[in-house]
Every structure is written in C-alpha cells, then in structure tokens.
Structure 1
Amino acid sequence: MMNKSKVCGLSLYVLMAVYSGVVFAEGSADTLPTVTIQDSNKTGHLERRTRTQGDSLKALDEEPSVQMQTGGGISSLPVMHGVSSDRVNVKVDGVGVTASCPNHMNPALSYISSFQVEAITAIPGITPVSLGGDSLGGSILVNTQHPGFTSGESRYSGQFSSIYGSNEDYLNLSAHVGFADLSNSVGYYGTDEKARDYKNGKSDIVKRTAYEQNNHSLVYARKLADGTLSFRVGRTAVPKQGFVNQYMDMLENTAMKYNVKYRGLLGTLKSDVSLSHQNVDHYMDKLRDYSSGQMPMYTDSKETNLLAKSHLISSQTSDTSAGVEVNFYSLNDWWTPVSGMGGMSPNNFVNINDGHRDRYAFFVENETQWNSSYSTNIGARVDVVSMDTGRVQGYNNTSNAPADEAYFNSLERNKTDVNYDMTWLNAYQISESQKIVLGLGRKSRSPNLYERYTWAGLQSTLATSNPVRMDMRMINWFGDGNGYVGNINLRPEVSHILSASYFYQSAQGAHIEITPYYSEIQDYIDADLKYISTTGSDTGVRYLQFANHDAIIFGTEASVSWDFLQTESYGAFNIKALTSFTRGYRKDGVSDLYNQMPWNGKLILNQETSKWKNRAEVHMVAAKEDVSGIRNEHKTGAYATADLGTEYKWGTAFTTSLQVLNVFDTQYDLPLGGKDILNGKSPVAGKGRSFVVGLNYDL
C-alpha cells in the first residue's frame, strides 16, 4: 500500500532525502525530510491518491503546494507556487520531457500512467541544483515501478486492476507481470483507459472532455558488482483527447521512449548516469462530434537527454557532488492546407521549422551537517541554452500571412542564454520535535520555442486580418480563449526566492507544517495586448504578444495531521487539514498574474484496520477575485465538495474499493479551468457526482 512519509515534509530542503535515499539508499534521511508518496509494497495496491482516474498528477492531491491547471483528461499542467507548465521542473526517472504542442497538450506526466508510479515527490519552491534547472516554481519527481531483485530464490510477480467511474463511463484496465532473481529482473507494465465526456453538477455534459490512451513499458535491470544497470522502453498512444478550453483537440499523440540508467560506482565515485531519447508524433484538429470545419496541425519532436552525477568528496558530516546535464530538443510544427478554404491554402503553414533548443548544464552542490542541530545545502548551477529555428511560411501570399512571414525570416534567430542558479538552504533543529528551514534561491528559465519563435501576428493589422487572428488562437497553453504571438527578443526569467518552513512532529502522532514564501521574478514572461476583437465569432478575444515584465508571487501553505485514536476493534484514526494561498501580480500594476489559485483547503478523515480502510474528505475553495485583466480572465465563485471512499482487502490477493466523488453533486466552476470554448467561453465546470469502483488482484 502507499504511505506518505512520516518524517516532516520539507518544502525546501529535500535533496538529501531524495538523492541519498532514493538513489543510494543511504544517508540521514531523517535530517532532511521529504514530501513523498511511495509504494511500500511493489506488488500491493496503491490507494486513491495514485490509483485514480486519468491524470497521474492527481497523486499529489494531498500536497498543498501542487494545483492542477485544466487540460485534457490525462494532460493537466502542474501549478506550484503560482507558476505552471514549463516553469515547473517535472522529471520521470530523472529525465525531463518537453511539451511538443502549441497548446502543451502532451506534458511530461501525460506519458506515465498512475499504475506505473513507484514514488512521486513534490519539491515546491527552491529545488536543489542537482535535481534540475531551467525552471522557477519547484519540481515533481516521479520514479516508475520495477520488479526489483530477490535476496534468495527467484520469484514471479503480477498485478491486475480495473477501475470504473460512472460519471463519464471511465474504464481503466491495467496489468503488470514480472520476474526477478538475485541479479536480474524484468517487468511489463500496461494500461488502457478511456472516458466519455463528463457531466457537471447539473448533469449537463461538458463537451470535449473525453479521452482514451494506452501506455506500455518494458524494463530490464541487471545487478552488477558495483551497481545496477537498467533498460526501459515505453510506448504511449493517445488516439483521442478532448480539450474543453482550447480551439483544437488531440486526435493522435504517439511517443516512443528509451532510457538506459546506471547507478553505482564509477571507479571510486558513487554515481548516477542516465541516457534517454523520446520521439513524439502529434496531431491536432477539431473533434467532428462538436465542431465543423477542419484545421489539421502536426508536430514532430525528438529529445535526447544525458545526465551524470557523482559524489566527489564524502565524509560522515559532509558531501560534495557535481554533475552535468545535456539536453538536445528539436521540433517541427506545421499545419497542412484545407481544400476550399482560401485563408488556409494552398501551402503548408510552417509554424516552427527545424526548431532547436539545446541545453548544457553543470552543477556543484555541498551538503554539510555542521553539528547536531544545523545543516546546510549550498549549490550552484549554470545552464547554457542555445536556440534557433529556420525560415517559415504562411498558408498563402495574400491573406495568411505574407508580412509576418517576411519580417520573421529577415530576423537573426539564433539566441544563446547563459543562466545560473544558486541555492542556500539552512535547517535548524530547535528540539527533538521542532525544526525550522530557511532558504534563499536564484532560479532561472529561458523561453520555450513557442514563446520565442511563433510569428503569425508580428506585423499584420489584426483588425482587418481574420486569418492571422485564427493562427494566433492556435498558440495558447493557458486555456484562456485568447491568441498569442512570440517575441524573439524575450529575456530569460530570473526568480529570487525567500522561503521559511516550520515543522512540528510529536510523539503522540501530531504533525504540523507551515511554509510562507516570497518570489520576485525579473523578466517574467507575461504578455502585452495588441488587439481586442470587436467583430465576428471571436468578439472579445484578446490578441497578445509574449513580453517580459517584473512580477511578484507570494503565499503560504500549511498542513496538519493527527493520529488521534488507535483501537483494537476499529483500528487507527487520522485527521488531516491542508490549506494554501497564492497571490501574484505584475510590478507595473497593469495586471494580476494569470491562473493564481485562490485560498483552498481540505479536511480529511481516515480510518484503517489491517483489511479495511475508510475515508471522508471535504474540499473547500474561496472565490477567485484576483484575475488577469489583460487576458480577460474569469472570476469564479466559492464552493465546497465532499468525497467518501472505502476499501477492503480480501485475503492476500483481492482488494475492492468504492468511492463516491462529489457526493452532493455540487455545481461549481474550476478556478484554474480557463474558458469553455464551446459554451460561450464561460468558466469550465467541474465534474458532478461519480461512483468509482475498483478491483485489484495481486499474484
């Protein structure tokens, strides 16, 4: 079963627990605790937080620093400390994956099903430099399952599960089979899932929320004299995924991923080396069930990543490590012509031609336990980001979009950014039960290819160019119904972060964590308004260009947990309370930042015996009043929902579960949902009541 770590969850100072505990399984993990959810029994049942419907990001629904920006059913974008998408460092088995779509329909976590998750760790705020760069808001680190090795005789393992959800006729079928002995292990993991459009609290269908995917991976590991060598190959195919807050839907996304990893000694140095490669073929158009017309859009990407870390100098009280990371990413994005549509023919619209974003990084980090009560993590990292793209073309030389094409092709497009990150994290053990952690950080991120190199709308007169406005609406991963154009002169974002955390853990089972934070971001990539449409079907739509502006983000998150009762007859009882608040705005006073989650909280009651678990949860969200005026962002109302769940283990093999989500069928709008494109661009409604039944069988 899956357990949250009992040590104090640490929002800032997670490195030693993650790096030493996960990678090398040694070191003082109690000194620097984690916010980790992990599977403590590789062949056991994962409880609701990970064995859930669709998006694997839902595994972190009890981490107050993590929110979800609505995308497709398996493609939500993570939000941490007020920033989302590319600004959050997401890695699966130590490897990042770049979204290859002008709507970011295929983020990193869309390629991993919850069935495959071994452990998922959230690091809000200041990420230690060895765990990633080129990001601002924090990190989400996922380790996938593998059969492991035996200490004696060889063994076979297997697991089969099924989940059904009534609201959208969701069906998930997952399977795992594996073999392991003293020095070899091999495993297969597969998931097939599909869902129809879900219904809101009024039983109205929320169109374009259906999806289906299949996900398969094969892993082989070999124990060597000084370490472990593993090989993993995976294929993810998404035949369909609706996007309620986008103008397009995903009609195909196929990815092949290959990963080789070595963990162990290189000479005398404890090291972690990985090499990965991923190919993505992506196709967008309109789902014919709801939209007329066509606009086929294709994306092809290739990404190769090399990561090597080694412990250079180690002692009982100090450890110095260094590493390199190299990432090569190439992208082609083109839209084929549509017969009979003068504004969308006769040429391919070349959105990004042979785009490259290559990154070369070096980092060094020191962890020192100065005495029994004070420890530090100090790190520095340099990321050199090199970007370029080729010449582009529009659909034609009359209405779409010759002026923009000529202007963009005349520009010098090669750009190189030299970014550096610095972190200083300090942990003070006040007493046996109390700890304070103070952190200072400088984090940086370069623009992505779409922010820097999309070009339709750079020179056109938007008031008289409807085809170009249509092109701009295709560039949008915010779900706000607007249109965007790139800016080749964008500067990298630089965030200066101050954070403090207080932790309390009593011997009686009470745990308290409070983390206020403050970030001042230089050259935050927001947008400037170019035009507001006043005619036709896009009346009211804002057309914007990505632009640098200084910004401030601050907030607080807190959690309380108490194991308040233990009985022989009824087992253990635990109550949890989680809350978070975020506020972000531009320093020039023009606008609040987009998609800032209002105050929200959860109250959770758990009861558990050796075979039976029960759960009741209330989720409360305040009204969202602070919105981005420049993007015409919707305000949303306050609401509360309730969930109930029960799970029973029959012997050693079968586990059944039943959940009732949104028990009272509450109607509400999603604060980070964006605009429902087919419903008058109103706020996207949340899901109504659903009965969810699960069955799990372990060999």
Structure 2
Amino acid sequence: MTKTSTATLTSIEVEGRRMQERQLGAVDVGAETLRRLRSATSDSASLLHDVPGLNLNAAGGVSSLPSIRGLADDRLRIKIDGMDLIASCPNHMNPPLSYVDPSNVGVVRAFAGISPVSVGGDSIGGTISVETLAPEFAAPGEDHSSEGELGTFYRSNNGAFGGNASASYATPTTSIRYDGSWSQADNYTAGGDFKTDVATGRPGHTLPLDEVGSTAYETRNHTLGMAFKNGGNLFDVELGYQDMPEQLYPNQRMDLLDNEQKRINLGWSGAFSGGGLKAQLYHEQVEHVMDFGPDKRFWYGGLSQPPAAPEVGTPCAPLGFLTCAAGMPMFSEGDTTGASLKARFDLSPADLVRTGVEYQRYRLDDFWTASGGAMWPGTFLNINSGERDRMAFYAERETQIDARWLASAGVRVERVDTDAGDVEGYATTMPSPGNQIAEAAAFNARDRERTDHNVDLTALARYRHSDGLDIELAAARKVRSPNLYERYAWSSWPMAAVMNNLVGDGNGYVGDPDLEAETAYKFSATFDWHAKDGSWEFSATPHYSRVEDYIDAVAFDSTGFQVGQFNVLQYDNQSARLFGIDLAGKMVLADDAGGTWGLNGLVNYTDGENRDTGDGLYNIMPLNARFTLTHQHGGWDNALEWVLVDNKDEGSAVRNEIRTGGYGLVHLRASHRWKRIRLDFGVENLFDKFYFLPTAGAYLGQGTTMQINAISWGTAVPGMGRSIYAGVTISF
C-alpha cells in the first residue's frame, strides 16, 4: 500500500495514456502488490485487501463485492478506466470489477469513506478507481518499440488454472496494446471437517462432502487499446470484450451460465496554460443468462452414496432416487452510455479548481422465459424497459493555504430519473401462482416515474502538525438514489422474489417505487504518525456515518415472517448509523546483509445499527486484522501473513442473518524476479483451517432451489481450505 503525498498541492502525473490526479483522501495499491497477487486470485476485488477499512463480501469466484466501512455494492462508486458500470442482474452477478482480470490491472486507487465530489457521485460509501494497463509510447529518439508478456498460473484447491498474454507496439506518437486473459476453476473444498447436509451431483461425479457447491467459474477477457499524441493532446480508444461461460454462486439460488459484455471507451485529454481538459465517451452492452447450475439442478433422497448425476440437458424426469429441477432460464440485457467533460484550472501554484459535467443513460430488460410447471405459459417480465438516467455537475476547489494546511471543498448536483414499463407474470389466466396477475395489474396501474435531485457536499483538510504527525479531517453529505431492482422488482410470489436478491442472504425481495434516495452525513479524522526516515508509520482513522432514508428491509407480510428461515422482504427507507475505526501501520525490523525485514498491520472495526428498529445492519464485517511479516532480498519478495476475524454474534434480525465463529488463517507468499521472468508461489490457508465467511450470506450451493425454504436455513458459506498456487510470467 502506498499513500498520497502530504507535502504539496495535488500534482498531475501522466501514467501511460491516462492522467492521474493525486487527491486528498486517496489510497493507492502499490504496483508490486498488484503483481504479487495476480497468481493467487482471479478476483480483482481481492487486490484491495490492504486498503484500510475495506473488506470483501464473497460471492462468485471472480465477483466479490468490496465493502468500505460497512457499505457495499451500489453504495460505492466503482470506475473502470473512468467508466461507471452497472451490474445488470437481479443478483448483481456481474459487478464492475468482474470485467477486469487481475493480470490487466495497472492502477488501483481507493477513497475509503469520504471521496471528493470530482471522483464520484450517486454513492455514499466511497470510490474505487481501477485503470487497466496503459499503452506506452516509444521514448523520444526511438523509431519504435515493442514488448509482450505471457503468464500462467495454477491453484491446487479448486484446480484453477489460466493464462494471460499482452503485446504492444509503439512509436513516439502512437501506441497499440492488446491484453487477453482466461481462467477457470472447479468447486473448491473447505478446510477441516466441513460436511454438507445435502448430497448432490455435478455432471459425471458425486459431490464430495467437503466440496463447497456452486463455486466453479470460467471467464475470458480481451482488451485492445490505442492511443495517439499530438502536441499537448492525447487521444485514446479502448475496446473490451468479456465472455464468461460460467460462474456458479454458493449464496444464490441461481447461477451465471453466460455473460457477454462489449464496451468501447473513447477519451481525449489536453493541457493548456493554467490547466487541462479531459473528455470521455463510453458505451457498454451486457447480455446475461442465469439458470440452475449442475449443483442446484439435481438432488437426492434417502441415499448416502447417490449415483452420479447425468449431464445438464438430460430431460427433467425422475431417475430412480434422483430428482431434477426444471430449468428456469433468466435473461438480463443492460445498455449503458456515459459521457463526461472535466476541467482543471490552476488559479495559482497553490490553488486549483476542478469542475465537470457527467451524463449516464442506462437501460435494463430482465425477463424469464417459460420453462414448465408454475413457470408457464408466458414470459415473466421482472424489469421491463427499465430506465435510470443521471446528469451531474460538480465544482471543487483545492488550496494550499500555507505550509501546514491543505484544504479541499466541493459541491455536486445530480438529477437521477428512473422509470419502468408494464410487467406481467408467467400466468396469463386465473388462478395464478403467487397472485401474479393481481400484483402485475397493481404495479402497472401506478405511476412509476421518479426524479431525484441530489446534492453532495464535501470538505477535506490536511494539517501538518509536525514532521512526525499529519492530521486529515473530512466531512461530507453524500446521496445515492435507489437502483432499478430496489424500486421496481414487483412480485411477492416466493419463487420469483427469491430471484431478486442483491446480498446473497437467501431471502426474497420486493421493490418499492416510492423509495427515497439515501442521504449520508459522514465524518472522519486520520491521525498519521511517522518517522522522518520512513522506517515506521502508524495511522488511526475513527469514522462516523448517519444515513437518512437508508434502504433496509422489512417483512413483506409480517404475519408470515418466521425466525430461523428465509422470508419475503420489501425494501424500505429507514435510518441507520455506522461508526468504527481503522488502524494501519508498518515498520522496518531490520535492514542488513540478510535483506530487509518489515512488519505491516491493519485492524478494521465497524458497527452498524438500524436506528428505527435497533436491529443490526446486514453484512457488517466483524472486528478483523491482518499482520504481514515481509522480507526482500535480491530478487526475492516474501511474506508471512496472519489474518484474524472475530465472532459475528450480531446482525440483521429481519434477514435472519447467520452468525459465524471467529478464525485465524496463515498465508505464505514468495516471489522472485529475474530480468525477463517472474515466479510467484505460495500457500493460502496453510493449516487447512475450517471457517465460515462472515459476509458471504447463506449457503445455497447445492440441492433444489425452487421454493423459498427448500434448503434448510442456517449454514453460512464455508471458506476455502488449503491451496498451493504458483504462477510464472515471461516478458519479452
């Protein structure tokens, strides 16, 4: 982890083809950290685990959701190469970071908690900005340059393997770069003595009792970038394509069985005397398919050693003791177009203004075709012609007041328009399962167009108290409008409601068109003690947030709500508060002929409460810590990591949130670099510890998923057991 400089006013640095601005509140993930973790993970969100206050809510194998101080998913602004991308799925299986492979991540910057208005709106939790590897230009005087890279990896626990390739060609004014990657994995196994209650089969074999069902995945990504320089102008275009044939979900009732994304990103930036301009235009198309994966399609009764399951596609009929679920194909089609124009004006060497306008147009169709049984004869329109459009303007001023004070203040004004078309269920005649016809008619009869006028205000200041202490203070008002599923998911029929679940808790959810935008009032202070020579540093960041109109959940039918099982809930505006503290530090233990030894540490604590009900907020990570002993010598970079997580003995009662026990994990990592070759290897969960993931929700990875309580409630998703990994990268 590297931190932004505290010595001078924000500076402009050109990294590849993108202009990076150093701003108050930013934390950068170091390039060496990014390279070291590529072989250990295919989930780009996991590259952020060294950011104070940030944890991961586990989901699919490449789609974990970052959580900053208890706020996750759409409550964060996550940008990929400047693009605001939106998850087009009723289970949010395709979040923005799932479109970037770790091998193609070049720059990661996080604003934990309070972010300047210039780096994100329509969010209350913070901003994460990820830039892919940027093409580079040939050095002045060179006719041209070219380079390439090939890499591969293997992980033992789930048989994960894959590779990446990149190639670039550049002249002093033109650069072309291609990056491609592919990875796949089978289900992983838990540590220790995990035993599942339901024995199910994947095609061709029986699911072992220590195997965590629905955790396999396969994904392929391609990016082609071109950039051109002309004087002080920089033009770039990026084409991206993802083909994800499979990503199974242990905490959802459905699985991703196809996801195709196409995107184009156009940019121009130019410098002028006293500032600079940057314009961007992007477009994304997503076609997303869900259905029962093999671990959810078949289940058994009365057999301790069931036979192997047939291949997916076998007609759905009883096969002895084997029973199969009819398929339930679900389709989501998302279309996003965005544009922005940003300007920076240097009023003086110690004073600058950032301003800009942004526009985003989002369209969503979510429909489930007929597939037999109660899912017949029509097509279920879950979100029909969904619309969510944003228009924003912001202005921000940053001033070096004197040698000790650096301050920034900004305002952002947004208009968010949402709407959805008429809907219908599977049923076309009475009687209809789950009262689909009546609920669709009631939804269609009401006005569904909504407009939110949102205002963000931020104020940040850094005070250099002494050579050994910097203090950063921040306060903000942040606003987020509901997403389309929170407003327009309409059916309370349990079979349909459980398919609308953004948090993996096993419950069903119904939207509310009258939801208000969330408004958060946030305060934090960072005390940064450090040695002049950089041999040690320690920081403490207490933080507090109060959220009015927080979108929580209530029982849709209180008479049918039961403790200790899954229920149908409805989104509802309530009031919430979150507070906690983040601690981070590092120190050099020794620096001699044997190498450099160091110790890094992180401790995060957040408490969240619904102020209306006194209930805990869902998916708050318990007290957790990470301590890393590091060693560098010659080309070696090694680490011994100890992760500690406390018991989760509080949570959301309305969601029947599952409690989890505390645990400790030990990881070993080692890397060696030669001139053209890099080798990374290590062991995750060295002692094969069994544990449950505190923020992964309910385990739904195997067995029938058709009815809301068909899988017994009460099991959390187990974490991965011991896994040995190795990766090699060759540059040329």
Give the TM interval when normalised to the shorter protein. Answer: over 0.9
For 1:166 and 1:306, the matched residues in 2 are separated by 43
Aligned residue among 84, 89, 106 for 2:72? 84
Question: What's the CA shift for 1:253?
Answer: 0.4
> Are residue 391 (structure 1) and residue 422 (structure 2) matched?
yes
| Deviation string, structure 1 residues 92-128 (Cα, Å, up to 9, x no partner) | 1111100000000000000011111111011111110
Aligned residue among 519, 526, 530 for 1:505? 530
Question: What's the CA shift for 1:33?
Answer: 6.9
Question: Residue 629 of structure 1 corresponds to which residue in structure 2?
Answer: 653
Aligned residue among 163, 171, 185 for 2:161? 171
Aligned residue among 169, 185, 190 for 1:200? 190
> Are residue 49 (structure 1) and residue 37 (structure 2) matched?
yes
Question: Residue 300 of structure 2 corresponds to which residue in structure 1?
Answer: none
Question: Residue 461 of structure 1 corresponds to which residue in structure 2?
Answer: none
| Deviation string, structure 1 residues 210-257 (Cα, Å, up to 9, x no partner) | 000000010000011122111100101110000000000000000001
For 1:535 and 1:320, the matched residues in 2 are separated by 53
For 1:562 and 1:18, the matched residues in 2 are separated by 29
Matched-pair identity in %: 34
Contact 1:615–1:644 (Cα < 8 Å) also in 2: yes
> Are residue 586 (structure 1) and residue 642 (structure 2) matched?
no
Contact 1:329–1:356 (Cα < 8 Å) also in 2: yes
Question: Residue 460 of structure 1 corresponds to which residue in structure 2?
Answer: none
Which SS does the other structure have where 1:201 is aligned? Answer: coil
For 2:271 and 2:724, the matched residues in 1 are separated by 50
Aligned residue among 103, 125, 133 for 1:137? 125
Aligned residue among 447, 461, 472 for 1:412? 447
CA RMSD of aligned residues (A): 2.3
Aligned residue among 243, 247, 252 for 1:246? 252
- 1:174 alignment partner AA: N
Question: Which has the larger displacement, 172-181 or 358-367?
Answer: 172-181
Question: Residue 376 of structure 2 corresponds to which residue in structure 1?
Answer: 345
- Classify 1:79/1:18 alpha carbon distance in 2 versus 1 (closer, same or farther; 3 Å): farther
Question: What's the CA shift for 1:6?
Answer: 5.5
Question: What's the CA shift for 1:141?
Answer: 0.5
Question: Residue 176 of structure 2 corresponds to which residue in structure 1?
Answer: 186
Question: Residue 659 of structure 1 corresponds to which residue in structure 2?
Answer: 682
- 2:689 alignment partner AA: T
Question: What's the CA shift for 1:271?
Answer: 1.0
Question: Residue 2 of structure 2 corresponds to which residue in structure 1?
Answer: 5
Question: Which has the larger displacement, 381-390 or 198-207?
Answer: 198-207
For 1:65 and 1:566, the matched residues in 2 are separated by 30
Question: What's the CA shift for 1:502?
Answer: 0.7
- Classify 1:20/1:137 alpha carbon distance in 2 versus 1 (closer, same or farther; 3 Å): farther
Question: Superposition pairs for residues 685-696 of structure 1, below 5 Å?
Answer: 685-696=718-729
Which SS does the other structure have where 1:74 is aligned? Answer: coil
- Classify 1:319/1:480 alpha carbon distance in 2 versus 1 (closer, same or farther; 3 Å): same
Which SS does the other structure have where 2:466 is aligned? Answer: coil
- Classify 1:169/1:217 alpha carbon distance in 2 versus 1 (closer, same or farther; 3 Å): same
Question: Residue 462 of structure 1 corresponds to which residue in structure 2?
Answer: none
- Classify 1:290/1:390 alpha carbon distance in 2 versus 1 (closer, same or farther; 3 Å): closer
Structure 1: gaps (5+ residues): 458-467
Which SS does the other structure have where 1:115 is aligned? Answer: helix
Question: Residue 286 of structure 2 corresponds to which residue in structure 1?
Answer: 280
Question: Residue 302 of structure 2 corresponds to which residue in structure 1?
Answer: none
Question: Which has the larger displacement, 202-211 or 295-304?
Answer: 202-211
Aligned residue among 521, 541, 545 for 2:547? 521
| Deviation string, structure 1 residues 394-438 (Cα, Å, up to 9, x no partner) | 111331401100100000011100001000111111012211011
For 1:671 and 1:434, the matched residues in 2 are separated by 35
> Are residue 312 (structure 1) and residue 345 (structure 2) matched?
yes
- 1:399 alignment partner AA: S
Contact 1:14–1:34 (Cα < 8 Å) also in 2: no
Aligned residues: 672
Contact 1:230–1:261 (Cα < 8 Å) also in 2: yes
- Classify 1:67/1:268 alpha carbon distance in 2 versus 1 (closer, same or farther; 3 Å): same
Q: Which has the higher contact order (CA 8 A, sep 6+)?
A: 2
Question: Superposition pairs for residues 100-499 of structure 1, below 5 Å?
Answer: 100-152=88-140, 153=142, 154-202=144-192, 204-265=210-271, 269-291=275-297, 292-339=325-372, 341=373, 343-396=374-427, 397=429, 398-400=431-433, 401-457=436-492, 468-499=493-524
- Classify 1:133/1:202 alpha carbon distance in 2 versus 1 (closer, same or farther; 3 Å): same
For 2:723 and 2:8, the matched residues in 1 are separated by 36
- 1:513 alignment partner AA: S
- Classify 1:539/1:663 alpha carbon distance in 2 versus 1 (closer, same or farther; 3 Å): closer
Question: What's the CA shift for 1:15?
Answer: 10
| Deviation string, structure 1 residues 454-512 (Cα, Å, up to 9, x no partner) | 1102xxxxxxxxxx111000010111110000001000000000110011221151011
Question: Residue 314 of structure 2 corresponds to which residue in structure 1?
Answer: none
- Classify 1:15/1:665 alpha carbon distance in 2 versus 1 (closer, same or farther; 3 Å): farther
Which SS does the other structure have where 2:495 is aligned? Answer: helix
Contact 1:348–1:395 (Cα < 8 Å) also in 2: yes
For 2:400 and 2:564, the matched residues in 1 are separated by 61
- 2:693 alignment partner AA: L
- Classify 1:22/1:271 alpha carbon distance in 2 versus 1 (closer, same or farther; 3 Å): farther
For 1:135 and 1:535, the matched residues in 2 are separated by 31
Question: What's the CA shift for 1:38?
Answer: 4.0
Question: What's the CA shift for 1:566?
Answer: 1.1
- 2:283 alignment partner AA: H
Question: Residue 618 of structure 1 corresponds to which residue in structure 2?
Answer: 642
Contact 2:17–2:135 (Cα < 8 Å) also in 1: no
Question: What's the CA shift for 1:289?
Answer: 4.1
For 1:289 and 1:379, the matched residues in 2 are separated by 50
- 1:610 alignment partner AA: G
Aligned residue among 713, 717, 730 for 1:684? 717
Question: What's the CA shift for 1:590?
Answer: 4.0
For 1:37 and 1:508, the matched residues in 2 are separated by 18
Question: Superposition pairs for residues 512-591 of structure 1, below 5 Å?
Answer: 512-531=538-557, 540-568=565-593, 570-591=594-615
Structure 2: gaps (5+ residues): 194-209, 298-324, 703-710
For 1:51 and 1:494, the matched residues in 2 are separated by 40
Question: What's the CA shift for 1:149?
Answer: 1.1
- Classify 1:519/1:444 alpha carbon distance in 2 versus 1 (closer, same or farther; 3 Å): same
- 1:36 alignment partner AA: D
Which SS does the other structure have where 1:290 is aligned? Answer: helix
Which SS does the other structure have where 2:442 is aligned? Answer: helix
For 1:330 and 1:150, the matched residues in 2 are separated by 41
| Deviation string, structure 1 residues 59-92 (Cα, Å, up to 9, x no partner) | 1111131111111001111111111100011001
Which SS does the other structure have where 2:296 is aligned? Answer: coil
- Classify 1:266/1:52 alpha carbon distance in 2 versus 1 (closer, same or farther; 3 Å): farther
- 1:261 alignment partner AA: G
For 2:519 and 2:467, the matched residues in 1 are separated by 37
Question: What's the CA shift for 1:14?
Answer: 12
- 2:412 alignment partner AA: R
Question: What's the CA shift for 1:564?
Answer: 2.2
Which SS does the other structure have where 2:365 is aligned? Answer: strand
| Deviation string, structure 1 residues 154-176 (Cα, Å, up to 9, x no partner) | 21111111110000000020011
- Classify 1:598/1:382 alpha carbon distance in 2 versus 1 (closer, same or farther; 3 Å): same
Question: What's the CA shift for 1:584?
Answer: 0.5
